[in-house]
Amino acid sequence: MNTSSENTIRIYVMGSAYEVPRGLTIMSAMEHAGWRFTRGAGCRSGFCGACSTVYRQEGDYRLRFVLACQTEAEDGMYLVQLPFTPAPRVSYTLAELNPDENVLLQHYPEIARCVSCNTCTKACPQDIEVMDYIQAALRGDIAQTASLSFDCIQCGLCSMRCPADIKHYHMAQMARRIYGRYMSPVTAHLEERIAEIEKGVYEEEVEALVKMTRSELEEIYAARVVE
C-alpha cells in the first residue's frame, strides 16, 4: 500500500507509524518523529558505524542493512535500530606479536568456521567484500586482509548476521594494525615529519591554532591548499 504523499512518507520505527517529511535521512526522520538518540548516533558522517540499522520494505521479506545517517528514508520502511553489537575483541599487545602467517588464526580461530555463505558481505553497508578478506586471513595473507577491509567502520553488522559467530571486523582491525606496524613500506617524508614533530618545529603553530576562535579556524580550513 502506498502511504506517501507529495511532501511526506510513512515509516515504522519499532512497530509504530510516523509521517515524516520526504528527503530526510533515516536518522533525521527518526528525530523528526520524536526519537531521541542516546546511543546509536556518533559522527553522523558515515565514518563511525554507530548508527547501523536494519530495515524491511513493506511487502518485501528481505532484510536490508544501512547506516542511518547516510541513507534516505523511504516510504514503507520498517526500521530497527542496533545500538551496539556484542562481539568481544581479543586482547593482544601489538609490539609483542609475531606477524607470521598464522597470527590471525591463532587469535581468532573462529574464522576457520567460515562456510562461505557470503552473508557478511551482503550485510555490509560499505559494500566491502567481507567474506573475501576472511578467506585471505585463513590463507595467512595479512596484507590482503588489511587491504580488503580498509574501509571498515566497525559497525558490526557482518558479525551480527554470521552463522559461524565470526568477529570479522575485530580480526580485520588486527590485520590492519599488524600490516601498519610490520609490513607497510616506510616513506621518507613521513620519517622526516616525525623527526620535525619530535624536535618541536610545529609547537608555535599549534599553540596559535589553539588560541583561535572557531570562525578563524573555519576560515583557515576553507583557504587551505589541497595537494
CB atoms < 10 A from the CB of 174, how many?
24
CATH of domain 8-81: 3.10.20.740
- Is 8-81's fold the same as 94-183's? no
Per-residue model confidence (pLDDT) at position 186? 80
CATH architecture for residues 94-183: Orthogonal Bundle (1.10)
Specify the pLDDT at position 146.
97
Report residues of the chain scoring pLDDT below 50: 1
pTM value is 0.68
Answer positive or negative: Cα dihedral of 170, 175, 177, 178.
positive
Apex 88 CA angle, 42 and 40, nearest 5: 20
Q: Please, what's the largest Cα pairwise distance for the chain?
A: 67
Give dist(CA 108, CA 43) in Å, integer: 29
| Domain positions in the chain | 8-81, 94-183, 189-222
What was the pLDDT predicted at 18?
Answer: 94
Q: What backbone torsions phi and psi does residue 45 show, to the nearest 5 degrees?
A: -130, 10
What confidence score (pLDDT) does residue 58 get? 85
